[in-house]
Amino acid sequence: MRGTVEEVLQEPGLRREDRDALEKYPSTFFIDYVPQSAAALGEKPWLPSAERSPDYLAGRRILRKHEHLKFRYEVKHHVGHGTFSNVYLVVDHRSWRVNGDPEKCFVVVKVTRANPAYVQASRREQSVLLSLTAHGVPGIAPPIDTFMMGESACTVFPKMDYNLYQYTQRATRTGASISAEMIMWFLRETTATFAGAHAAGWVHADIKPENYMINVSQDRRTPHIKSFTAVAVIDWGSARANDFKAAPPGYIQSRYYRSPEVVNREETDASIDVWSMGCVAYELATGKVLFPAENEAELREMHAAWPVNRERAMQHPGLADPLIREYVMRATAVNPRTRSTSAELLALLTPAKPPRHPD
């Protein structure tokens, strides 16, 4: 429907935050898209996948298709979820009015659970991204918009094609290959991001395939991906200052990518990111998780055996490129004091410039 603010305020089913937002607009403001809130009208909410347990639902805002946020963003569908939030693909109607091309107006919004700790983590992520942007760190996705919806914090980000986990699963299903050149490009781009973040004073602390977003160039005649065209590191909500020295809390880093010093509750620094970077590089090159432990005790055993098992693991055909193999080996040194830094790994991947000759 279309109408003035005064007309829309008479509509049934408006949420409190909708009413509060509308009352801040001048009377000449026209509404392009105002569906009634299905949740407010008592319809059964749509749930992602099979996640219907009370623990999963606690504090979550489950949004239906065609619901609106801020009278600007139209929900299309759910695209992902984690411990702290749900993520939805939405249409930015303000951008649509300006650009006239709906395909260019898709963005994603991350909606935290209604929990003060998760809201605080969202605000922390926004602060970290602003700091990284100010330091010129490449390969991040600064937020487009931030706002509150009830007790949930919402952050709007640019839409990208896949996260790395989704892409590797797709590649497995379709038989698409990931060339050494594509892997090298990916490693150079993302290592530059982490080297910049570490230099700016930040540790990501939750590097895993789901936290890399990629855009791709696809051959229209086949299901195969021709190349990666862009990559961004996301989910900086667990980031912490580079100089933190205290033993980390019980949960930090996802288990498969958790560094030995975190497992052993030792002092930590930016080298925990480097370990995770090496695990992701191995997984991208081989299609296999490097440390698929069921629990921390098993992970500790795998780390202890790694110096013995490493040479055999490095014989995988996916690691035939010597630079990729060297990258993984340097990044997964069990002792953080002998592990390469992100800057050293970036130098490993960066071709040396030819010397300049005098004219």
The set of catalytic residues is 206
What SS3 class is residue 75?
A: strand
What torsion, rounded to 10 degrees, do the Cα atoms 307, 288, 256, 300 define?
Answer: -30
Rounded CA Rg of the chain: 23
What SS3 class is residue 286?
A: helix
* Residues 356, 310: Cα–Cα separation, whole Å: 40
* Residues 160, 154: Cα–Cα separation, whole Å: 18
* Residues 61, 109: Cα–Cα separation, whole Å: 12
* H/E segment holding residue 233: strand 225-233
Q: Which residues pair with 148 in a beta bridge?
A: 153
CB contact at 8 A, 348 and 327 = yes
Q: Please give the backbone phi and psi of residue 187, each rounded to the nearest 5 degrees, phi first.
A: -65, -40
Cα–Cα separations (whole angstroms), residue 165 to 80, 168, 287: 12, 5, 10
